[in-house]
Amino acid sequence: MVKLALRNKSVGTKVTATEFDALERRAHAQKLTLSEWVRAELLNIKKDDGDEVLLGELLALRAILINLLFSLGKGESLTAEAMKELIERADRDKVNRAAGRRSDGGLSVRHAAAE
């Protein structure tokens, strides 16, 4: 069994409440604790952002397709303006969706129908 190195040293800094909130949001967006996120940033440990971008684009396309098929299935016709709104909403939400789906590991129609 491999024994992990014990972390017994620390690095600290003072930040304002606003800065602290911003750091917590960034950590939470990557599904990390603040300590994990700060450590990764300080040590320049980066996740493969290419996967995140690709997943975001795929989920945006999926959201557009599901909403389009749902509308057409109900016999509704989509105007150019409605299609533009669908695309803009998918683009706006794709980063958050990708981060959420990577952490929960699943894609379901139930989630997409609510989008």
Domain boundaries, the chain: 15-46, 49-113
Q: What is the mean pLDDT of each run of 10 residues along the chain (115 residues)?
A: 81 93 93 91 73 84 92 91 91 78 52 41
Cα–Cα distance between 58 and 52 in angstroms, integer? 10
User: What pLDDT sits at residue 103?
Assistant: 59
State the burial class of residue 56 (Cβ atoms within 10 Å of its Cβ: 0-12, 13-18, 19+): buried
Answer yes or no: pTM beyond 0.75: no
User: What pLDDT sits at residue 28?
Assistant: 93
